[in-house]
Structure 1
Amino acid sequence: MLGLKLENLKISVITKDEEFGVSIPFENGLNIIRAENSSGKSTVINSIAYALGLDATLGPSSHSPFPNSVKYAISKNKKNKNEIGLNVIDSFIDLTLYNSANIKIQLRRYINGNNKKITVTDENGESIDYFLGSAGNIGSAKNDRGFHYWLERFIGWKMPAIPKFDGSEGHLYLECIFPLFFIEQKRGWSEIQANTPSSFQLKDIKKTAIEFCLGVTDFQKRNEVEKYKKIIAGLKIDWEKVKSSLQTLAELHNLKIEFNYDIDSNEWLDFSTLYYLSDGNQTPIGQFVTSLKRRIKDLNYSLQGWSFSAELDELINSRRITTRKLILVSERSDSLHQSMIRIDKKLKLIESDTIKYKQLRRLISVGAENGIILETENCPICNTNLKESFTAANEHNHPLTIDQNITYLEEQRKFYLGLKNKTKEELINIENEKAAISTEVHNIENKIKLYKNEEKEYLSTFGEELKSIAELNITKNEYEKIILQKEKLNKLAESISREYRNTYNSLEIAKKDLREKVSSYILNSLKEKLIGNLSDFSYQNNNINWLKISEQTYRPELDGFDIVADTSASDYIRIIWSYTLALLELGIEINEVKHGGFVVFDEPRQHETSHNSFEALLNKSAEKFKLDGQVIIATSIPSKEILPFKEKGANVIIFEDGEYMLNPIHQ
């Protein structure tokens, strides 16, 4: 399927005094643009890629692909070397084209001014601006207002996600595809796909671009293959980490390790074995620990064991519990003593107030009037300041009488005396409990002292044997921990190996499915057309019929090597012609093959390619693509060699020597 058809290219350069420009029409089949060198030929050719936002197909430079004549100052007369050019105010490119659905649009992109946008105008004159370039995750191929996003859909291509070098997935950009169709003069002839950009960090980008065009790959399955490859690569790293950890474990403890399995080993035994080394002999660490346990058991059996260890431990624990109880009881005792002090203080205050009120009652009963004060600032019961505690008295409030106060105070005295007796009784009980617990603690301490004295005598008698047992236990515990670490690493190794095996099987199935998706018919067709073109273009290698299309690169190879390895410079140019035109032929004939619809050759007669070969290129292009497809060739060969092709149906545009292609436009 052919994606695009070019109709017209127009370059406009505006100065203060006048406008310069050139308009190049395109037709099906062969289009030849003839002009001498340094006349603007490459400017015209580069404008096609530039108008499509495909600057990357013109080479790796980030600079504008245009000369100063369209950016700063333009000259009228090529022959006048001393002419001062006119200052360029503005310059832009208009490219008119169709897609496969025969929808016509015009693209405009500025050379001067804002060149990061492209304006798309439809047949109704409605225009929309789209941006180029990217800012972070907002790229022109990923956003619906991005030009490449629009162009992909206008062409009718769905670009796949493909692996990047960092393991993530990236977008297959149009700039990676069009170097197969667009061969510019400076770098384009160095090899097939010479100007494929590498800045996108996409893996196998040249192969992927050809796969996409030929339609021979299910990219979803290919990404699945890459996913499994990435998992396997990670598992291999994890496997080496486990091996390194086991080696480190052995070295830290002066052990020897045997780990004789690779990640794809078929063995499902214990993955690693550690050996204890002694006197030149090696013993598996498990057997070594078993021997330690046996020695500890024998030593314990031979000793006259001290049988009170459990009793001593129990007494020490009992002392801890009983001491805690004693602390709690003592705290309760202290609290009751404080309560008794507060009760006694309250009773004294009540007794004092009662005496005062009784004295006052006696004075009143004998008729005394002088020196009697009935007002008081504090309450006789709770001693609270009355002015702070009560509101102002009024006529409805009546204070207690003296007799009522005395009665109340006596009731209070009875209450606190009862509370004191109850507290005293509780205090006696607590003190008794405290004494009992103190006695219990003392008895426990005496027993502990007795046991410890016995233990000391036992240790003095059997100290060396006990020390040996303790050291053996420490060693045993240490090596048991090592065994646990080793077993943990073994389980991890087994898990990694099992996951590797499952992933590897999945990878093989995915690779098989992917191989089955490769169309041998398309590859054979590419091979046949390539051989036919090479023969037509007088390719010199006698083994041409042995040429193959590599399943690894989808490029031509002989005897297992890329064809360029044993090819002269001029023959390699023929290979580029042949391969590029073969892709265009397949795009016309096979619907699964995706092609841009046009081929651009800027100065294809490189390295003194013979006149006959070049003529064959022109003839084939004129005849083969008369009905569909476009071959655009820019050349500086003499006009007389070009004109005959006009009679063969080619669209021939000639600019004579001594003139610029960009000329003043007269209104």
Structure 2
Amino acid sequence: MIIRSVRLRATTNEGEYGFSFNFARTLTIVRAKNSSGKSTLFNSLLYGLGMEELVGGKNEKVLPYALKEHIEYEGRRILVTASEVLLEIESRSGEVVTLRRAIRDAVRDSKLVEVFSGAHLTEGQALGEARPTYVHDGGGAKRPEGFHRFLETFLGLSLPSVPTTNGGETKLYLQAVFAAIAVEQKRGWTDYIANIPFYGIRDARTKVVEFLLGLDVFETNVARNRLNAESVEIDADWRKVFEELRREANPLGAVIDGASFTPSALFKENEASIRKLAGSSSVPLAEHISQLRAEYAELQRQAEQYHKASGAEAMHSVTVAMDELQELSVLHERAMALNAEQRVSLQDYEKLLAEANEDLERNKTAAKLRDLGAKHDVATAVSKCPTCNQPIEDTLLAGAVTGPQMDLATNIAYLESQRRMLMRQIAGLKAGLQASEVRVTELATRIANKRDLLTAMRGDVTSGASESKAIVRRQVQIEVEVEALGKLQTKATELFARLGQIAVSMSANQAARRGMPKEAHSAADIERLNRFQLNFRANAGSFGYESAPIREVEIGKDTLVPCLAQMELREIRTDIKSDSSASDFVRLIWSYLLALYQTSATHLSPGNHPGLLMFDEPGQHSMAADSQHALLKQLASETSLQSIVAASFDETEEVFRQATQGIRYTLIEWDGKLLRPQ
């Protein structure tokens, strides 16, 4: 993106005031004395782009009073009645638009950004019809009417989704990206990428760097997140189908064989079946239905011969039925007792697991505190008394327990092992409990049926009827059970087929997971990061960084910031060996931000840098003129980079001359205040 021109118009009670400047396509230096409006011009550019959050707020509140309240000019206070900023920008494809945003206006809100086609400021083209857009409201980065959505499209970018601190996802907002492009004076030089507005993005600085460099990590993460979401959906679908199958089978005293509650890619629908509990064992459902039909046929034969049966035979049938009922009652009581015992055991194991988790957390916390103490040379953290230097035990029970005692690390390993064992026990108990509940239900159903049958048989004995009500009742029971089991068999076939489809999806998901890169960065990413590191080192060397050997400084693969001995290089910190002077740290920021562009601008593997850098007072902390000269020279040499540098150069002509000697640039400067009659 190229910023071609800016104009500020302020309507006052003494006429129109403001300023108007054109910018070069490469290096533009904005030179002015302190408090003369240099930062006002810089912040006006950010405001026109909807990026004023980088200064510390939203809308016109972040702008100085001269742009919205009153202007100090030649000793007079001139009231501002209306003001606006116009910005002319050009895209990489050559499209030119003019942006207009009100600062103070009785009609137009400061959230409104009007977009006009054409070069109104540099070529005098008429504004024409405006395309209204808005900023700092819901959907501004996603809806077509949002200005930041327009700007993203205008820049030819496609901002990815990134993880948030609460576990969700959000867009990598354009304002976060611009924190690595525009550095304001007050807080912008305090970090490699400072002033990223808070959007709840996890590791926001790292995500911005990954995007600007064009790393494949976003595509990899998108694919991995898609597979993760698909895996969760597969798990939920499987459990839903299995639970439906279990709801159908359990009331009929049937159990599922060949499938588990947890999904498995190895599941085969032709190997799964429903089995009917029968005594202490189970039989295939089809076999049980055949047995019922055979019993029905036998009952039909008995019904035809019933009038020939003697009373003794009828009484014998009653006795046999009573014995069977008694046996079923005993089995039911045993099953109930086992079920109750399993419930109690499950509660006990869950209580033990909770205690183990609590103990494990306490030990991990103690170990963490000890390790933190060791890093800060706390004597007790290394098992020494801080007063007498005598060794102390790593336990609170040293005087109460004799014999060997476990230290924290051993205790943590033991508790983790115990926790895993308890979790396995609990899983087994839950499975056994479900099986015993099915057994109890099946026996209760059989007891109820047997009692009904026994009542009918006793009625047959006492009434002396020629037809047996008991046989009829039992036949009705068989007909009802066969019908229910037949429906179960049909339903099970359907559900097993669905489980088979889910297993195929799971297998494909697992295969895709195995094909994902095991490392966070691809080979192409590593190559880009190595190039980024080389560019950074070269820049830091040319800018005069001396606080650490440049060849030993690396770009951390996790944080993507400069590190020395795996520690981030920062401003002065007396507790680490990688101390840097304040001015040296600013040199690192120059090197870092410029290296982001240089690496992104590589033709073979281009990134997403817009090709614009804006620095407000980069010569922080009495920066040497030689270093400023090296920075400006490097910026001017990047022919595809537009750089806008606002600086006072210590308000001396000599420093300015030294910093700009031999460099091609466009100069913007003024005497007195920035805002003047137009």
Partner of 2:545: 538
Report the counterpart of residue 87 of structure 1 in structure 2: 79
In structure 1, what is the Cα distance between the partners aligned to 2:8 and 2:507? 61
SS at match of 1:127: coil
1:48 aligns with one of 30, 45, 48? 45
Q: CA deviation at 1:126?
A: 3.3
- Does structure 1 residue 619 correspond to structure 2 residue 667? no
- Confirm whether residue 21 of structure 1 aligns to residue 18 of structure 2: yes
3-state SS of 2:265 partner? coil
Displacement of 1:638 in angstroms is: 3.4
- When residues 590 and 494 of structure 1 are mapped into structure 2, their CA distance, relative to the original with a 3 A threshold, is same
Partner SS, residue 596 of structure 1? coil
Deviation at 1:285, TM superposition (A): 5.3
User: Please, which runs of 5 or more residues in structure 1 have no aligned partner?
Assistant: 308-456
Partner of 2:180: 180
TM-superposed CA distance for 1:238, in Å, is: 1.6
Q: 1:196 to 1:286 in 2, by over 3 A?
A: farther
- Choose from 584, 588, 591 the match for 2:597: 584
| Alpha-carbon displacement from aligned partner over 1:3-40 (angstroms, at most 9, x marks no partner) | 32x45444332311244434556453373555546x64
Pick aligned residue for 1:111 from 103, 119, 139? 103
Are residue 645 (structure 1) and residue 648 (structure 2) matched?
A: no
> Deviation of residue 651 (structure 1)?
6.1
Secondary structure of residue in 1 paired with 2:62: coil
Shift in Å at residue 304 of structure 1?
2.6
Q: Residues of 2 paired with 1:189 and 1:254: CA distance?
A: 73
TM-superposed CA distance for 1:90, in Å, is: 2.1
> What amino acid is aligned across from residue 132 of structure 1 in structure 2?
T
Residue pairs, 1:52-91, within 5 angstroms: 52-55=49-52, 58=55, 61=58, 64-76=61-73, 85-91=77-83
How many Å separate the matches in 2 of 1:637 and 1:296? 106
Q: Matches of 2:245 and 2:563 in 1, distance apart?
A: 47
CA contact (8 A) 2:17 2:675 kept: yes
Give deviations 1:179-210, integer Å, cap 9, x for gaps: 331233566567665555677x9999877765
Partner of 2:235: 236
Deviation at 1:603, TM superposition (A): 5.0
- What is the Cα deviation at residue 119 of structure 1? 4.1
Cα distance change, pair 227–301 in 1 and its aligned pair in 2 (3 A) = same
Distance 1:469 1:547, change over 3 A: farther
In 2, the alpha carbon distance for the partners of 1:33 and 1:497 equals: 68
Instruction: Note the aligned Cα RMSD (angstroms).
Output: 5.3
Which residue type is aligned with residue 266 of structure 1? L
**Per-residue displacement from partner, 1:91-134 (whole Å, max 9, x unpaired)?**
22244555557777765433223342144542252334332228
Letter in 1 for 2:70: A
Q: Please give the alpha-carbon distance, in whole angstroms, between the structure 2 residues aligned to 1:299 and 1:561.
A: 87
Report the Cα distance in structure 1 between the residues aligned to 2:272 and 2:66, rounded to whole angstroms. 74
- C-alpha displacement at 1:498, in angstroms? 0.9
- Identical amino acids, percent of aligned pairs: 20
User: Residue 94 of structure 1 contacts residue 107 of structure 1 at CA under 8 Å; is this kept in 2?
Assistant: yes
Deviation, structure 1 residue 176: 5.4
Q: CA deviation at 1:639?
A: 2.3
Alignment of 1:553-572 (within 5 A): none
The equivalent of 2:131 in structure 1 is: 130
2-side partners of 1:293 and 1:497: how far apart? Answer: 35
Is residue 87–residue 100 contact of structure 2 (8 Å, CA) maintained in 1?
A: yes
User: Is the Cα contact below 8 Å between 2:547 and 2:579 reproduced in 1?
Assistant: no
CA distance in 2, matches of 1:616, 1:487: 82
Q: How far, CA to CA, are the matches of 1:559 and 1:265 in structure 2?
A: 45
Shift of 1:253: 5.4
C-alpha distance in structure 2 between counterparts of 1:277 and 1:563, whole Å: 70
Question: What's the secondary structure of 1:87's corresponding residue?
Answer: strand
Q: Return the alpha-carbon distance in structure 2 between the equivalents of residues 244 and 568 of structure 1.
A: 61
- Give 5+ residue unaligned stretches, structure 2: 308-462
CA distance in 2, matches of 1:541, 1:533: 14
Contact 2:55 2:184 in 1 (8 A): yes
Ranked by relative contact order (alpha carbons within 8 Å, sequence separation 6 or more), the top structure is: 1
Structure possessing the higher radius of gyration over alpha carbons: 1
| Secondary structure, counterpart of 1:75 in structure 2 | strand
- Give yes or no for contact 2:68–2:83 (8 Å, CA) kept in 1: yes
- Tell me which residue corresponds to 1:442: none
Opposite residue 91 of structure 1, the aligned amino acid is S
The answer for the alignment partner of 2:415 in structure 1 is none
* TM value normalised by structure 1: 0.58
Give SS of 2:104's match.
coil
Preserved contact between residue 532 and residue 599 of structure 2 (Cα < 8 Å): yes
Alpha-carbon offset, residue 524 of structure 1: 2.8
Q: Does 1:662 align with 2:674?
A: yes
Partner of 2:29: 31
Are 1:596 and 2:610 matched, yes or no?
Answer: yes
Distance 1:557 1:274 in 2: 62
Read off the aligned partner of 1:130 and give its amino acid letter.
R
Structure-2 residue corresponding to 1:493: 499
How far has the Cα of 1:233 moved from its partner? 3.8
Letter in 2 for 1:180: A
Letter of the structure 1 residue corresponding to residue 593 of structure 2: T
Shift of residue 89 of structure 1?
1.7
Q: Secondary structure at the match of 2:46?
A: helix
SS in 2 for 1:31: strand
Shift of 1:664: 3.2
Give distance in 2, aligned partners of 1:187 and 1:296: 90
- Report the residue type matching 2:72 in the other structure: S
Deviation at 1:491, TM superposition (A): 1.9
Deviation (angstroms), 1:594: 4.1
1:31–1:633 contact (8 Å) kept in structure 2: yes
Structure 1 position 529, deviation (Å): 1.1
For 2:553 and 2:288, locate their aligned partners in 1 and report how far apart those are by CA, in whole Å.
Answer: 68
Deviation at 1:494, TM superposition (A): 1.4
Partner residue of 2:310?
none
Aligned residues: 497
Give distance in 2, aligned partners of 1:103 and 1:266.
57
Aligned partners of 2:563 and 2:290: how far apart in 1? 66
Q: What SS does the corresponding residue of 1:125 show, helix, strand or coil?
A: coil
Q: Which residue of 2 aligns with 1:377?
A: none
Q: Does 2:19 align with 1:12?
A: no
Residues 549 and 467 (structure 1), Cα distance of their counterparts in 2 relative to 1, 3 Å cut: same
Secondary structure of residue in 1 paired with 2:125: coil
- The answer to whether the Cα contact below 8 Å between 1:639 and 1:654 also exists between their aligned partners in 2 is no
1-structure distance, mates of 2:280, 2:556: 62
